[in-house]
Structure 1
Amino acid sequence: MPPLLNPEDLAAIMGEADVRVLDVTYFLDDADDAKARRGFEEGHIPGARFLALGRLADPDSDLPMTLPPAEVFAHAMSEMGVGHADRIVLYDRSPLHSAARAWWMLTLFGAKSVALLDGGLEAWVASGHPLAVGPTGACETPGLFVAQPDLARLRTLREVRGHVEKGDAQLIDARSPGRFAGAEPEPRPGVEPGHIPTAINLPYSRLFDADGRWKAPEAIAAAFAAAGVDPARPMVATCGSGITACVLAFGAERIGGMMPVYDGSWTEWGSDPSTPKAKDA
């Protein structure tokens, strides 16, 4: 299964025994994923299940969206009826393109075949496909998800400090230019404005066309080049809290690169009084 499906591709495989479709919509400031869940119940792809992405985080971390332990992730997937060998298709209705975050976690924990629905639910509806309404019941048949973490896809605060000191990796920040420059306040209390020294700004929105679909690989490569990013050199993605950094990571793989994600991102770096911070454009 290719990593990006259009609505017709998904319609052609829906109902096959090993296909799992997950709505992974996530909004900022959405307590307990209530808004995202309501939207799912108002209309979703038939057969899809809702995965509360906001709850799929490390319960022992003070940060909003850090990676959960492998056993926590495996249990959550198994309860959803998802196995690591299944073909897993992800979609969302979020301006954050949160399906990329779920793709990154699933891929990191060893899922064999994960794809995004290009354009999300809006593209599905625009193509004339039907929606189902209402909640889904508990999964009757648990999946078998064996988590095998690939930590090469992850960067910690200590590791990013090392990259800044050594200059051995490009740090790519997915936030808006205003937040990157420190000209706009941060949405979370206690987090200073600015960016990690040496970081390069590539807003995640530049990887999408106006209709919300992913740009072609050639256009993604051009966006990387315009920002001054060389995909042939080591890269690390960062953002506000680890969500849109995963958009850059998926974009990098679309053009043959591999971009680990700094999971704590600016929420961790910007709230740590010991880290250096830059505020220039």
Structure 2
Amino acid sequence: MPAAPSPFVSTEWLAANLGAPDLVVVDASWHLAPTGRDGRAEFLERHIPGAVFFDLDGISDHSSPLPHMLPDPHAFAHEVSALGIGDGLRIVVYDALGLLSAPRVWWTFKAFGASDVMLLDGGLPKWLAEAREIEAGAATRAPAHFTARLDHSVVAGLPQVERALASGSAQLLDARSKERFAGTAPEPRAGLPSGHMPGSLNLPHSEVVADGRLADAETIRAAVAQSGLDLSRPVITTCGSGVSAAILWLALERIGKRPLALYDGSWTEWASSGKPVETDAA
């Protein structure tokens, strides 16, 4: 299977292209609540020059009780246009951990029709390690016009996931840790049981990321083989709340396997909807 074209740009490339009128840099930093970290606050302290902040929780479906679900196209277009992100621009996304939340925002832009969206290889950690220029404070760009057309085929909802598991029409690949998948470690969201969807497979995103960068194809293939995933069959990526599932999307594309869809609600929706929960102790 041929690998997809690389979705990454290097820090060298970005440094050389900063300030280009058709380029917008997006800081997509986001952290789980237990870490106590605030992506926006950290952005105000330091970010790549000219970057704008994409609030993963803010640019979401506020009518849903689930965290950072995709908004409708009109709301997405309104929010990103206000950030100065418009049609025809080249978009480069990064995050503060190297490769955690940036893939989700990269996938989101692609799902809404962005034609030229890339990820910064190594993210902010690599940029800082190379002592490249940073700036602080709020960032503003002139408002733009973004035309959002959601490709519903890449977004899996609960009914589609239930059908896939029942019929075997697609495999569910879960990016959470082995312990959370097994039900032996708690979920980061209070009141949510750990465990997994019966019949799903586990590939922790940490196994395909090394030092904040996507692992090489050989490492990914070995991790995929260990998970039991059949690369000849469709796959839906999932995780705790639809963020690290996008890391698995990237990893699978690197080895030439484009996923069928990403389960937006992921484990948070499944486990809070009274659906069957399986654990290693069951």
TM-score (normalizing by structure 2)? 0.92
User: Residue 31 of structure 2 contacts residue 37 of structure 2 at CA under 8 Å; is this kept in 1?
Assistant: no
User: Secondary structure of 2:136's partner?
Assistant: coil
User: Residue 171 of structure 1 contacts residue 236 of structure 1 at CA under 8 Å; is this kept in 2?
Assistant: yes
Provide the C-alpha distance between the structure 2 equivalents of 1:149 and 1:208, rounded to a whole number of angstroms: 28
Query: Match of 2:72?
Result: 69
Q: Residue deviations 1:226-272, cap 9 Å, x none?
A: 22223332000111111111111122222222221111111110111
The 1:96/1:242 distance shift into structure 2, 3 A limit, reads farther
Q: CA deviation at 1:222?
A: 2.4
User: Residue 97 of structure 2 contacts residue 212 of structure 2 at CA under 8 Å; is this kept in 1?
Assistant: no
User: Secondary structure of 1:226's partner?
Assistant: helix
Matching of residue 24 in structure 1 with residue 28 in structure 2: yes
Provide the C-alpha distance between the structure 1 equivalents of 2:108 and 2:44, rounded to a whole number of angstroms: 24
User: Residue 98 of structure 2 contacts residue 213 of structure 2 at CA under 8 Å; is this kept in 1?
Assistant: no
Structure 2's unaligned 5+ residue stretches are: none
Q: Residue deviations 1:120-177, cap 9 Å, x none?
A: 111012223111122224x3x2222111111111100000000111011110000000
Map residues 44-83 of structure 1 onto 2, 5 A cutoff.
44-83=47-86
Provide the C-alpha distance between the structure 2 equivalents of 1:264 and 1:162, rounded to a whole number of angstroms: 15
User: Residue 97 of structure 2 contacts residue 125 of structure 2 at CA under 8 Å; is this kept in 1?
Assistant: no
Provide the C-alpha distance between the structure 1 equivalents of 2:277 and 2:134, rounded to a whole number of angstroms: 46
User: Residue 3 of structure 1 contacts residue 116 of structure 1 at CA under 8 Å; is this kept in 2?
Assistant: yes
User: Secondary structure of 1:261's partner?
Assistant: strand
User: Residue 85 of structure 2 contacts residue 145 of structure 2 at CA under 8 Å; is this kept in 1?
Assistant: yes
- The correspondence for 1:105, drawn from 103, 108, 112, is 108
User: Residue 98 of structure 2 contacts residue 123 of structure 2 at CA under 8 Å; is this kept in 1?
Assistant: no
Structure 1's unaligned 5+ residue stretches are: none
Query: Match of 1:230?
Result: 230
- The correspondence for 1:127, drawn from 98, 123, 130, is 130
User: Residue 84 of structure 1 contacts residue 110 of structure 1 at CA under 8 Å; is this kept in 2?
Assistant: no
The 1:143/1:254 distance shift into structure 2, 3 A limit, reads farther
User: Residue 80 of structure 1 contacts residue 142 of structure 1 at CA under 8 Å; is this kept in 2?
Assistant: yes
User: Residue 96 of structure 1 contacts residue 244 of structure 1 at CA under 8 Å; is this kept in 2?
Assistant: no
Provide the C-alpha distance between the structure 1 equivalents of 2:86 and 2:223, rounded to a whole number of angstroms: 35
User: Secondary structure of 1:55's partner?
Assistant: coil
TM-score (normalizing by structure 1)? 0.92
Q: CA deviation at 1:45?
A: 0.6
The one-letter amino acid of 2:231's match is: P
Q: CA deviation at 1:36?
A: 1.2
Query: Match of 1:91?
Result: 94
| 4+ aligned runs moved over 6 Å, structure 1 | none
